[in-house]
Amino acid sequence: MKFLGKNTIKLDKELNELDKFVLDFIKILKKHTDYVIISGYVSLLFGRARGTEDIDVFIEEATKESFIKLYQEIEEKYWCLNSDEVNEIYSYLKDGLPIRVAIKDQAIPNFEIKFAKTLLAKEAFKDSVIVKTTLGELKISSLERQIAFKKYYLKSDKDLEDAKHIEKLFKENINYNKVKEYRITIENAKTKNR
Amino acid sequence: MQKLKTDKDNKQERMNFVEYWADFVKNNPDEVWSRQQKLLIDSQIKNAKSFKISRKDYLEIKKK
C-alpha cells in the first residue's frame, strides 16, 4: 500500500469476500448519497488479522424521497434486518438510530448505517481518505480519527488493538497533533452527553 | 522481521501479536499479507453464510 497524495491510498491487496461485499454495497450507496466508512472495517481493510460481522457507515442525512430511491435499489439484493417497511426504516435513521443491511436471507456480514447527525459524525466526511483497490474505491474516515475514536472513545481491547495496528502500519504518515485535537473533541462530546 | 515477544499477560501478549502482524503487513507486498488475511476472513464468511439465523434472533443477540 502507498499514499498517492495526502488523502489517497493505493492498496494492491488480494480482496477477500468481506472486501467484495463492502465494494458491492458501496457502489449502490454512492450513487445516491455521500458516505464514510468508520471503525473496525478500516483496520481490516489495511490487513488486521481478525474478522467482523458488521461494517459501520455514516451517510449524509437525506430527505425521505431520496432515501426511498436509495432503498429501492438496495432491496434488489439486500434486506434491512430491522424492518421491511421503508417509512419505518427512514424514521429510525431520522431518530439517530442505526439500521442493519445484509444480503437477502442472511444476517452476517451486515452494514450498520447511521445518518451523520452529530458534529463528530459530520466531521468524519471532511478529512476522509480515498482507498483505491483493484475493484474500486472506498471512502474511509481519516487515520487520525480512527485512532482517536478507538483509543479514547470505544476503548475495548479489540478497539485498542485496531488502533495499534493502524498506528504501527502508518507510523510515518500519522499527524499526532490531529489525534490530540480529535481526542479533545471526543472527550468534550462525551462530557456533553453525560 | 522482528521476533514475536511473548508475555504472561494475555492482553499484552495479544497486543504483541498485533504489533508483530502490523510489522509483517508493513514490510511485505500487499499481495503477500492479504493472501493470509483472505484465508481467515473468507472462512469466517463461509461459516456465517451456512449459519442460518433469523433477523429477529440476530437483532436480539445484538441487544445483549
What's the structural domain count of chain B? 1
Helix (H, G, I), strand (E, B) or coil at A3: strand
- B3 backbone φψ class: left, alpha, beta (φ>0; ψ -120 to 50): beta
- Reading the block at residue A106, the C-alpha cell is 442472511
Residue B24 lies in a domain: yes
Mean pLDDT of A71-95: 98
Residue B36 lies in a domain: yes
- Note whether ipTM > 0.85 here: yes
Residue range(s) defining the domain that contains residue B28: 10-63
Rounded distance between C-alpha atoms, residue A121 and residue A58, angstroms: 7
Nearest chain A residue to B14, by CA:
A161
Inter-chain contact A50–B40, Cβ cutoff 8 Å?
A: yes
Residue B2's pLDDT band (cuts 50, 70, 90): confident
Q: Which CATH number fits the domain A2-143, given the four candidates 3.10.450, 3.40.50, 3.40.720, 3.90.550?
A: 3.10.450
Residue B28 lies in a domain: yes
Inter-chain contact A157–B58, Cβ cutoff 8 Å?
A: no
Residue B3 lies in a domain: no
Inter-chain contact A168–B53, Cβ cutoff 8 Å?
A: no
Residue B33 lies in a domain: yes
Contact (Cβ atoms closer than 8 angstroms) between residue A90 and residue A67:
yes
Walk across the sheet containing A99-103 and list its strands.
A2-3, A8-10, A129-133, A136-140, A35-38, A54-59, A110-115, A99-103, A78-80
pLDDT on residue B48: 87
Residue B43 lies in a domain: yes
Q: Percent of chain A at pLDDT above 90?
A: 94
Please determine, for residue B34, whether its predicted confidence score (pLDDT) is greater than 80: yes
Contact (Cβ atoms closer than 8 angstroms) between residue A175 and residue A129:
no
> With the C-alpha atoms ordered A110, A48, A27, B31, is the resulting torsion angle positive or negative?
negative
Residue-wise pLDDT tens digits, A3-24: 999 899 999 999 999 999 999 9
Residue-wise pLDDT tens digits, A154-166: 999 999 999 999 9
Residue-wise pLDDT tens digits, A122-141: 999 999 999 999 999 999 99
